[in-house]
Each structure stands twice: as C-alpha cells, then as structure tokens.
Amino acid sequence: MAEQEPIRDGQGHWKPGASGNPAGRPRRGAALAEALRRRLGAEVTLTDGRRATVAAAVAARLVALALAGDVSALRLLFERAEGRVPLALDLLDVEEPRIVRLPLVPPAGEEGGDDRGEP
C-alpha cells in the first residue's frame, strides 16, 4: 500500500487544500423560515366554506382584530405594512458642525416645520 502524503503540517494545522471534513457539513432539515413559507402557502378551507391560503387567512384575522380595537394587532399591521417608526432622526447640520435631533411629530398645537426638517 502506498504511503499517503500527510495532510497536516508540523504544527498540526491543515495544509492548504486539505480538510478534515471533505464532504462538508451534513445538510440539516429545512430552516424554520422555509417551513413557515411552505405552510403559509398551503390552502385551507375557511369556516364559511371558501378556500384561501394560510397567509391570507392569517392576514384577514389580523385585520379583523385590529378593526375590533386590538392595539397589538394594529401595531403589528402598521409595522409590517409601513415599517417601524424611528424614535428620532439624527442629522448632521451642514452649516454648523453639530448633531441636530429632530422630533418626528410637531409639538401639540403647532403646525410642522418645512420639508427640510427645521422646527
């Protein structure tokens, strides 16, 4: 039997191009996100006999909860549809080298400033 060339150097490190796991990491099962996508795309029969995807049924239920006054459902709807609202906006003032912190909503009783974000 022919002697194989060592695949590690004198310090025990792998030589370039050599691997202790040449087949790579074994495949795992489908990731959670992929499993959820498959489930959300599946069709179900609703209580009224209509067919819809799970995603459509969940969306309809979420909208119904929000319309009924569920604040958590309402918040989730807005975050998913419009994105989260930043708490404040930090901008570098070009005229003066300082950070300007702008509120997103004008104080009560005031009309908003102009489009440049100035109060």
- Is 109 contained in some domain? no
pLDDT (average), residues 81-108: 64
Distance CA 76, CA 68 (A): 14
pTM of the predicted model as reported, rounded to 2 decimal places = 0.47
| pLDDT attached to residue 119 | 47
Question: ∠ CA(112), CA(115), CA(116), 5° rounding?
Answer: 110
Number of domains in the chain: 1
- Which CB contacts under 8 angstroms, 24+ apart, belong to 13-22? none
- Is 77 contained in some domain? yes
- Is 54 contained in some domain? yes
Distance CA 68, CA 73 (A): 9
- Is 6 contained in some domain? no
**What's the number of CA atoms in the CB half-sphere (13 Å) around residue 86?**
7
| pLDDT attached to residue 82 | 85
- Is 22 contained in some domain? no
Q: What 3-state class would DSSP assign to 77?
A: helix
CA 31 from centre of chain = 15
Distance CA 99, CA 93 (A): 6
- Is 17 contained in some domain? no
Structural domain including 61 reads: 31-104
Q: Does position 112 have pLDDT exceeding 60, yes or no?
A: no
In percent, the amount of the chain with pLDDT more than 70 equals 65
- Is 3 contained in some domain? no
Q: Does position 114 have pLDDT exceeding 60, yes or no?
A: no
- Is 23 contained in some domain? no
pLDDT tens digits, one per residue of 17-73? 777 777 777 777 668 888 899 999 999 998 899 999 999 999 999 999 999 999 999
